[in-house]
Every structure is written in C-alpha cells, then in structure tokens.
Amino acid sequence: MYFVDRTAVVLKPTEQFLQWLKQADDNMPDLTLAQLRTNCSVFLVPEFDEPEAVVSYFDERYQQIFEAEIYGWDIPAAKWPQDMSLKAFWEFFEVEIHDMVLDMEDSDISVSPVFDNMM
C-alpha cells in the first residue's frame, strides 16, 4: 500500500442538478438524489493544506469540470443549462474532500484523456 501525493475530491450532484437533469431528458428514469450520488466523479488534485485551497482549485477549472459532467449524461447541447457560471456550478455540485489517498496496487496507474471529443 502506498500514499499518493494527491487529494481526492468527490464531486456530488445536488438536488438542483437532479431537477435540471429530469427536465432536460424526457426519458430519464425516475432517479432520486441518493441514487444519483452513489457513483460520483472523483478527481485527484494536488495536495493542499486547506479545504479552501481545493475549492479555489475547482473555481479556476469549474467550466471544464461543469462541461464534462453535463457531457457525460449525453444531453444535447441545446438542452444544457443556460447559466453555466461559477455560481451555477456550486449550485449544481458540492465537493467532499479526502486528503489521504492510498494506492493498494504495486503497479503503474495508466492514464488516458477523458472526453477527448467533447464539443
């Protein structure tokens, strides 16, 4: 087991995100917020001493993260939220910050681009 020199951040959708999702996709199953939050995106970010620094890190990158989260639901761009500001991002998502990240495997982590073909 190895310490990883990163902070893990779980991006959790809020009720406001769920309401937008339901109105954007007529074929969306009747999801609950609890169901939606069972498999959230996890971001590995640099290690920070303060949670506020993690939030600032997300503030600087919110647009890319916001677009990737919306894109992952395969919703046509015309139905994306009209307001994709920083304020809207924090209304749609909250973060859970974990500063102890452990790797259980003794092998290299492979990396590949995410959402390469996005917009």
**pTM for the predicted model, two decimal places:** 0.87
Output the average pLDDT for the chain.
91
Residue 118 has pLDDT above 70, yes or no: no
**Long-range interactions of 87-93: CB distance < 8 A, separation 24+:** 89/62, 89/63, 89/65, 90/62, 91/14, 91/16, 92/13, 92/14, 92/16, 92/17, 92/20, 92/66, 93/11, 93/12, 93/13, 93/14, 93/17, 93/66, 93/69
Spatial distance between the Cα atoms of 49 and 89, rounded to a whole number of angstroms: 23
**pLDDT value of residue 46:** 96
**pLDDT tens for each residue of 71-104:** 999 899 999 999 999 999 999 999 999 999 999 9
pLDDT at 102: 93
The percent of residues above 70 in pLDDT, for the chain, comes to 95
Q: Average pLDDT of 17-35?
A: 91
How much is the pLDDT for 119? 44
- What six digits make up the tokens of 93? 């998502």
Confidence at residue 116, expressed as pLDDT on a 0 to 100 scale: 55
27 pLDDT above the threshold of 90: no
